[in-house]
Structure 1
């Protein structure tokens, strides 16, 4: 019998509780619960809301502790001030993993940082893993799970998207829908108070649904674990990475969003080159890389042929190939 990765119950849960599930249109809890119901998730799904007995036609429980059965994943879609109490409830009833959707933690200043420390302390006390906060959620098309509050889902495929920004996930999903590109996983990390890039990369190495990995990075909490996991993953599966904060103003914006100190770009770039991952500079290049990978085309050599109906564009392309150190084929 094959050993399961320790994050399997997070990304392949057999039961999901949505805490804060709602009938209120356009609320986060409403959209997440509706997405799970409509995505044909094959596991058990529970609504938790102390104010209602039915949510979207499904029985609603007063708290996660009232459910009674095993919960692999609890999605907490409530205000940040309620999260410590809910995390305590999750810990007491044996919930293994949580996704905290709300913002308002370390990225929001000192009071938010104190609230974040309290949540993490409670989670560690009960050995509950936390994805987020300030995240979009996750999508696993192979098990029919869309646990996000985006209105665009993902088709099955072999690309994994791992991003700190929920908006970036949404942008990629919007583009992928029109380009008919599928995903094995869409994982929004948010502030990464617990589960981080390193652990997710470690999981994706062993995920047989994933052949390629796309990443959007703003800040790194555990640089040693990140670099080790990135190096290991890039040896097995191609990784395309977009990092925000190449310049000072971009770095300030990334810090304000993720709540983490920026890494000097020259340092990050030099370290990345040693891992074997490929860095792109903008979302357009990320889209093109995703499209190339999804085409299943694998070049056999390292030379490039340029086919053009105009000499000028061909010369410009040849110059760019020279900039990148790409040899041209002799036809």
Structure 2
């Protein structure tokens, strides 16, 4: 069996950050700094046509100028520039992209048209895309922190997959105080291309991952979601929390990531059928994370509960 088709995003050997800079608090500055600080163990290239060097590294005007294969690009430029950037990357063999930029389906009619253009380009070049409008991805054991978060996850065996970047940072803040580590932290954002089902399919086979936490705002491809969830839950504990249980939450999810949120009782039944466990609150999700990361396994009738 060959490598999983998402290996280009989860285990890239080379990463180019498009929009890398030294401007304080800019997305490109933060994500490039995070990759350096985390000790990324592959080739790292800053892309910025306005600079010869960025954060002590030789800068390139575009991917073509690197002259070597690039597995993944992280795009941290305005939404309007993304289609042209991805087309150029596709023409030069890039197969994985993480798009941090906002302003797509969550931004109304113009954003939806822009997202459709991006998806057509990605499909044309077989370029798989995480995001847009996402925090990014972390693989702590591999020294990869391709996010603009101030958090730095410790290595562990717990995977976190979240549509909300704020939930990612909140859980990472809490996990740091609890000394809980992660095999992967994946911010899905608008999930225009790579979706929950495909990420769960990857994590089901990932040797570094023993259990999975999932925060869902909405599901775009129900069939693929159920397939990935079922595959993962058969092999590892999967804990899922969903926003939009009530009308107000559904409206918030739609404005946040453009997510379509289905009926809550249908979602409940789907999780039960797949074999996943549902958490109803963030506190329950934290509790599940603590239990799953502890390494304890209950066997037989040896569990006592005091309440």
TM-score bracket, normalised by the shorter chain, equals over 0.9
How far residue 301 of structure 1 moved from its aligned partner, in angstroms, is 3.6
Q: 1:191 to 1:236 in 2, by over 3 A?
A: same
How far residue 304 of structure 1 moved from its aligned partner, in angstroms, is 4.8
SS of 2:4's equivalent in the other structure is coil
Q: After TM superposition, where is structure 1 displaced by more than 6 Å over at least 4 residues in a row? A: none
Match of 2:92 in 1: 93
Match of 1:72 in 2: 71
Cα deviation code 1:247-301 (max 9, x no counterpart): 1111111111121221111111111111110100111111110000111111124
Taking the aligned partners of 1:257 and 1:111, their CA distance within structure 2 comes to 16
Taking the aligned partners of 2:231 and 2:301, their CA distance within structure 1 comes to 23
2:202 aligned with 1:203, yes or no? yes
**Under a length normalisation based on structure 1, what TM-score does the superposition of the two structures give?**
0.91
Match of 1:118 in 2: 117
Q: Which has the larger radius of gyration?
A: 1
2:19 aligned with 1:20, yes or no? yes
SS of 2:193's equivalent in the other structure is coil
Cα deviation code 1:162-214 (max 9, x no counterpart): 00011110001111111100000000111011110111111111110000000
Match of 1:39 in 2: 38
Match of 1:218 in 2: 217
Match of 1:155 in 2: 154
How far residue 229 of structure 1 moved from its aligned partner, in angstroms, is 1.3
Taking the aligned partners of 2:79 and 2:193, their CA distance within structure 1 comes to 16
Matches within 5 A, 1:101-140: 101-140=100-139
How far residue 3 of structure 1 moved from its aligned partner, in angstroms, is 2.5
2:245 aligned with 1:273, yes or no? no
Match of 2:177 in 1: 178
Taking the aligned partners of 2:301 and 2:90, their CA distance within structure 1 comes to 52
Where does the alignment leave 5 or more consecutive residues of structure 1 unmatched? Answer: 308-316, 318-331
Match of 1:63 in 2: 62
Match of 2:256 in 1: 257
Taking the aligned partners of 2:242 and 2:302, their CA distance within structure 1 comes to 27
Query: What's the Cα RMSD here?
Result: 1.1
SS of 1:24's equivalent in the other structure is coil
Taking the aligned partners of 1:173 and 1:153, their CA distance within structure 2 comes to 8
Taking the aligned partners of 2:172 and 2:129, their CA distance within structure 1 comes to 24
SS of 2:185's equivalent in the other structure is strand
Match of 2:6 in 1: 7
SS of 1:32's equivalent in the other structure is helix
2:80 aligned with 1:81, yes or no? yes
Match of 1:229 in 2: 228
Taking the aligned partners of 2:200 and 2:301, their CA distance within structure 1 comes to 27
Where does the alignment leave 5 or more consecutive residues of structure 2 unmatched? Answer: none
How far residue 306 of structure 1 moved from its aligned partner, in angstroms, is 3.3
